[in-house]
Structure 1
């Protein structure tokens, strides 16, 4: 009886360990892994961990430096410009279990509600005043105005948002604990993904005309 109990305990522990392991990036097995360009571009590989590494003796200082976020990117109609940085543009991050983003907001600009299914994010305000927050699984909102030098954390998988409430442009530096955090923008996921129109009408209490307007706004193919 004790043996069965002990065996069951081991199975439970093993299952929990497997669940924990699968829920985050795998631990690296070497100091670093700079993808070897002789085996193809990391941009063409969907699974970022399968490219063979360069020999460590071939690594250079430049492999660990990224200079592509000195200035803001291109702004969207929401007043947001973002520059995501992951192994596809910065190979030195490969296998290190992290990535980051520079986000700039015009005055009144927003980063619409979205979430990252595979990563917790920490946002550091480089400049400006930003209304920032997230919603937990009980629909409780945690939000505040954070200013230059302050940090907010968004737990993995929870919807979060940002809005520049200051009188000057704002810049945020976001860091993720995954090299592939994923991104789901709520408006686009709901109205730009092809969900059945009748379902959306019932879910949001909107008319067919209103749903069509939202779909044209968030589905590029429908707006043409």
Structure 2
């Protein structure tokens, strides 16, 4: 039966479909994947799309390309998958749990390690957040909200935490775009964000984390 793909990010979509088949055992470690022409026919995509999907899978350790022999499944374990790719497949509930845990630790450390420059950057983010909300600019609100929290992560003084949040923020952006169709939520949580920042300034980690919990649940 023909399995056509949606006309968006075709190579990523194809890579995701094949990865799912590997995880489900349709193709196990050592198995040879269908040939390029077979994949082109099965998914109704071009040769370049198939090759790009194979490149994605090979770079993340799922398959190995053997010249003249074909493409073989290397692993069915997600441990070899880049974090960004794994987050793309995450369920909303799981992502929110990770977000809550990660930001809780970020806020604790930011309250200790933030610098004057960090505070200036975050104040400017919140100023722009309010401006965009007042203008009804939902997309801009999403961008600047994520920028604020990324700045907060950087203020933690832990570059690994900051990198983890940056990876998560890419996935959160898509989630926010699906969830927020207007600026109402950004207007409602503006004051909470401002209070959060003020407690970061005061180095009051306990109060800051309480406010974070309110923001995440909003």
Q: Could you tell me the TM-score, scaled by structure 1's length? A: 0.30
Q: Could you tell me the TM-score, scaled by structure 2's length? A: 0.30
**Structure with greater proportional helix content:** 2
**Structure with greater proportional strand content:** 1
